[in-house]
Amino acid sequence: MRSDDLPDPEGPTSPTVSPRSTCSDRPRRIGTGPALPCNVRCASDRRITGSAIGSLLRRGLGVGARYGRPAREGNRLTAALTALAVTIAASWAAPANAETLRLTAMGDSLTQGYGLPQDQGFVPVLEAWLRGRGHDVAVTNAGVSGDTTAGGAARIDWTLADGPDAMIVALGGNDLLRGIDPASSRANLAAILDKTRAAGVPVLLAGLPAPGNYGPEFKRDFEAMYADLATEYDAVLVPDFLGPIGEKATQGLSLSDLMQDDRIHPNARGVEQIVDAIGPKVEDLLARADQ
């Protein structure tokens, strides 16, 4: 096709009559896959009589063969070319529908990766685990060291402004360390979940077990708030973010191989075990986000 068949970039935008019959097949959506080799253009049969493709098309359409064997060959070729066109169109359209899921992990130092190299914290290890299992997902680290449920409630709006497809909410550890009334922590978590529900963002809610030194009522109320809120807001529940480490502690075994020297934060091996345990629940969350 000669360049003078196309309007100049600054030409009129109203439709004009072309001296030759032309058509242009262009995708209506911009895909995320690799660029197509070129725009596919088709012209009238008269324009392609000298090309091999034109010859095939004329045979496939039965031009010059009205009956008998040539016509049958043309019908078969027409069907083959149609199937090929459908296959190519489907392969080009598929990347347009594929989108990387955006998962945001909101939490405190356990989420943030306190005391660890950047690539060994909870978020990068979780992302690698999910990608290793075939999930096209990007995990954003919204962990803030020292944060409480009140801090999470104060920043939930701008966290949601990034447009995540799903969220992990893992807050309450610092409330526990400070002995904050579980009723206050519960109200803060509910405020966070109100916002995620309004935004249509599915949530995984990760809790922690309370020690007995605050009394049985504190322990009961603190641990119950996670299960109750998960039920109320239809969130995926992980009762104990540090599950594998906690299980080892209840057995009276040493945690030196899983914890940093402060005995509060997991080391790289501890993070790996946490991710192995929580990973399937995160997959449940991604399934909700992908619906």
Helix, strand or coil, per DSSP, at residue 220: helix
Q: State how far the Cα of 263 lies from the Cα of 242, in Å rounded to an integer.
A: 12
| Catalytic entry in 21, 45, 109, 234 | 109
Residue 135 appears among annotated catalytic residues: no
Q: In the annotation, is 284 catalytic? A: no
Catalytic residue among 135, 165, 240, 265: 265
Count how many Cα atoms sit within 13 Å of the Cα of residue 150 in the half-sphere of its side chain: 10
User: Exposed, middle or buried: residue 54 (CB in 10 Å: 0-12, 13-18, 19+)?
Assistant: middle
User: Where do the DSSP E strands lie in the chain?
Assistant: 22-25, 40-43, 101-107, 137-143, 166-170, 203-206, 236-238
DSSP labels for 62-77? Answer: TTT--SSHHHHHHHHH
In sequence order, the β-bridge partners of residue 270 are: none
The residue from 4, 8, 261, 262 that is catalytic is 262
Is residue 162 annotated as a catalytic residue, yes or no? no
Separation of alpha carbons 162 and 104, rounded Å = 9
Look-up: residue for tokens 């502690």?
249
10 Å Cβ neighbour count for 166? 24
- Mind telling me the catalytic residues? 109, 262, 265
